[in-house]
A and B are shown apart, each in its own frame.
Chain A
C-alpha cells in the first residue's frame, strides 16, 4: 500500500525552495548588472560629479560667467576660449571637461533652450577621451546673469588614467 499524501507535500516544499533560490539568484544577478562595472569606476564618477558641481558653483558665486561671457550686456567676442582656459586652469592636469551652455527663454509660454557653445567647450583633444574613461561625472546648474539671461550650464568631467 502506497502513502501518497506526505510525498506530495515534500515535493511542494522543494518546489518552493527552488523558486525562492531562483528569485534570489535573479535579484542578485540584476543587482550586479545595475551596479557600476566596478567600485573603482563608481567612485571616480561620484568624485568627478561632485568636483564638477563644486566647480560650477564656485564659478557662479564669483559671477565668473558674467565677467567672461558678457560685455555691455552682450556676449563678448572670444568668451568661449577665455572660459575654456579659465575652467581648465581650475582642474587637475589629468582631468578633461566638456561644457555646454544654453540660454533658456520662454517663448509664448514654452521653454526654449538655445545652445551658446556651438563649437563645444572642452579641453579634451578628442571625444574618445570621454568614451574610454572609466567614470564620467556630470553636473548641471542654472545661472542668471546680470542682464538676466538664464543659463543652463552642463559639465562633464573625467580623470585621465
Chain B
C-alpha cells in the first residue's frame, strides 16, 4: 500500500513540474529573448545617447546642459523599457560604471592623468589624445519567470589621437602664401578596435588665421584635400588652410601650422575633439622695480590674453614674442597656473581666471556677457591675476586647457543688471559706488566713490566748461553721464558705458550733441586699486563758455588733511596741508600748478587715496600747454587733486574745441593706509601760503603711492619674454 501511495505522490510531483515547464516553455516569448531584447537595445541606446551628448556639448559648450539631457533620456529609457515589458514583469536596474578607461601616460612629452568613466558619459577633449565615452551597467530580473540576477556592462567610446611628430607643412614654392598641412591621426573605438570607415566628411580641421581681423573669424575651417587610411585606425590627413589674406600668411607657415583643432565624427555620430597642443608656457617679467618686504603688498597685475595670445596689462598691449594662439575651445576649459619656487621646491598654483566677451574690435566690453558657456574666439578675453611676490621679477605662467569637460577652470563673466541710481561694487577690499545718471536731478560730484574704513573718496572722470551762479562757480559745468553696464567675475568687475549724454549743470538738462564718451572702469577683486580708460570724442566744434577741461580728480571730505604729489622731475615730492575754507594750493594761476607728474594722493594718518596717471595720459595733458595738477580746498572744506587739460580761469575765455582731437586718458586709483606729514614750511610757489595750511617737509604717506604708481606706468610694463607650447 505504501508503495502505491508513494507512486501516486511522485506522480503528483512530476505532473506539477511538467506543468510548470510547459507554462514557461510555451509562453509568447521566453525570458532569454526578453532579456536579450532589453540588453541589446540598452547598448544601442547608450551609443545614441553618447552621440547626442557630444552633439549637444559641441554646439552649446555647456556640459551641464548636455548631461542633464542625457540623464533625463536615460531615465526615460529605463522607465519606458520597464513599462514596455511590464506584462512580463521585467525589472531593470541601471548602475553607473566606475572604471578606468585609460591609465596615466606620457605622450609627446605631456603627462596625461588617468581617464576615468565615473559618470554615465564623460568627455576628455581638447588635447592631442581625446576620448568620448559612455559606460553603464544594468541588471535585469524577471520575477514572474523566476529569473533573477542578469547583469551586463556596456562601454562605448571614440578615441582620437593626433600624431604630433607627423605634422608637416608643405608650402607651395611657387606661391608662398599657399600650401598644405599633413598629419596622422588614429581613431579607435572600444576594445582598441580601429575605425576604418571614416572619410573627409568625418573630419573638421580648424587653423588659426594670422591675417584675419575682426569681425572675420580668426579660426577657419581648412578644406580637406585627402584622407588616406593606413590601417590600424590610422589616417593621414592632408588639409589646405584658409586665410583672409593669403598673401600675408607667411607667419602661418613658420609658426601657426602646428596649432590646430580637429573634430571627428564616426559612423555612430559620436563626436570627439582634439587639439594639437595642451597649453602655453609664458615667461613673464615684472619691470616695475618694486622691491617689497615680506608682508608687504604683492605686485598684482591683471593680465588679459586674447584668442591670438596677445597679452594685455591694464588694458594695454605688452611686449611679447610671436606665440601660438589659444584654441577655439569653450572658455571654461582654459586654466591659468603660475610656476613658483616655494622653499626651493617648484610648485604650480592655479590662479583665478575669467572669460569676458568684448566687442569684435576688442576696444570695448560687450554688454552681452550672459555668463553662459561659449567658445573662446576673437571676441573673448581670458583675464587673470598675476601676483609677483616679494623679490620675484620673473615667473612662468601656464595657460592650458582642461581635458575633462566636467572641470571648469575659468569662469564666464556675467552681466549684472543694476537697478536704481547707484551701482555698488564690493571687491572685498573696498566698496565702490557708481552713479547711473540718467537725469539732471541725479548729479553727484563724482563718477565713482570708494568707501573703506568709514572714509569715502570720490573720483571724477571728465568734465568741461564752467559757469558762475550766484557768486559760486559750477566746476565743471558739463559732465559725462549715462547708465553703466557691469560685468562681474572672480577676477574683476568691469563697469563701462558708451554714451553721448552730457549733463549741463547750469541748465539742468542733458545734451547728446556735444561728445561721445566711452569709459571702462576695472575693479579687481581683492585688490586695493582700480583703473580706467576714458575716450572723449567731440561730435562737433563745441563752443565752451570757458576754456576748462578736467581729465580726472580725486576728492576727500574734511579730515583728510594731507596731500602729496610727484613733481615733473619724478624725484621731488611736494607735501602740503589742506585748508578749512576755499583755497587753491597748487594752481597754474598762482604758482607751479603745471609742475606735476604721475601721481597725487590725499590722506590722513589712517587712510589715503592716490590718483595715478601713466605716461600716455601725461602726454595727452602735455598737448595743451595749459595743463595743471590742481590742488584745492572747496568752500565746504572738501579736498581735491585734479588733472586738468585746460586749467580753470576766473575770467572766462570762450573756446571752441577741435572736433578732431580725441582725448584718450587712462589712470588708476588706490586706497592705502595714509600717513602723517610733518615739519611745516612756507613756500608759496610749492604750496600756496595759507594760514594753518602749510607745505610739509616730509611725510610718511608718500611711500605707497610713490612705490606702487610704477605698476601702472607704460615704461615699467611687464613683458612676456618667451612663449612655448606644450
Out of A27, A31, A50, A60, name the residue touching B41 (CB < 8 Å). A60
Q: Does B683 contact A (CB under 8 A)?
A: no
Within 8 A of A (CB), among B563-597: none
Q: Does A28 contact B (CB under 8 A)?
A: yes
Min CB–CB distance A150 → chain B (angstroms) = 5
A17 to B3, CA, bound (A): 11
Min CB–CB distance A8 → chain B (angstroms) = 16
A123 to B9, CA, bound (A): 50
**A2 contact set on B, CB distance < 8 A:** none
- Secondary structure class of chain B's binding surface, majority of residues: helix
Q: Which 9 A/B pairs are nearest by Cβ-Cβ distance?
A: A104-B80, A111-B83, A144-B45, A152-B84, A20-B8, A141-B37, A150-B80, A142-B41, A106-B76
A46 to B27, CA, bound (A): 8
Out of B8, B33, B41, name the residue touching A139 (CB < 8 Å). B33
Size of B's binding interface in residues, CB under 8 A: 43
With CB as the reference atom, state the residue of chain B lying closest to A146: B48
Q: If the complex has contacts A13-B1, A24-B11, are A34 and B19 also in contact, measured as CB distance less than 8 A?
A: yes
Q: Are A31 and B44 in contact (CB under 8 A)?
A: no
With CB as the reference atom, state the residue of chain B lying closest to A31: B19
With CB as the reference atom, state the residue of chain A lying closest to B41: A142
Q: If the complex has contacts A24-B12, A104-B83, A148-B48, are A138 and B22 also in contact, measured as CB distance less than 8 A?
A: no
A141 to B40, CA, bound (A): 9
A106 to B73, CA, bound (A): 9
Query: B1-35 CB contact bits vs A (8 Å, 1 = yes)?
Result: 10011001101100110110011011011100110
**A56 contact set on B, CB distance < 8 A:** 37
Q: If the complex has contacts A20-B9, A35-B22, A140-B29, are A146 and B80 also in contact, measured as CB distance less than 8 A?
A: no
Q: Does B52 contact A (CB under 8 A)?
A: yes
Q: If the complex has contacts A28-B15, A142-B41, are A49 and B29 also in contact, measured as CB distance less than 8 A?
A: yes
**A20 contact set on B, CB distance < 8 A:** 5, 8-9, 12
Question: Which chain B residues have a beta carbon within 8 Å of chain A's beta carbons?
Answer: 1, 4-5, 8-9, 11-12, 15-16, 18-19, 22-23, 25-26, 28-30, 33-34, 36-38, 40-41, 44-45, 48-49, 51-52, 73, 75-77, 79-85, 269
- Among A23, A144, A150, residue most surrounded by chain B Cβ atoms (within 10 Å): A144
Min CB–CB distance A158 → chain B (angstroms) = 13
**A148 contact set on B, CB distance < 8 A:** 45, 48-49, 52, 73
Q: Are A104 and B48 in contact (CB under 8 A)?
A: no
Given contacts A42-B26, A140-B37, A144-B45, 13 further A-B contacts (CB under 8 A): A27-B16, A27-B19, A28-B15, A31-B19, A35-B22, A45-B26, A49-B29, A106-B79, A111-B83, A139-B37, A140-B29, A144-B44, A146-B269
A63 to B44, CA, bound (A): 10
Q: If the complex has contacts A140-B29, A148-B52, are A31 and B269 also in contact, measured as CB distance less than 8 A?
A: no
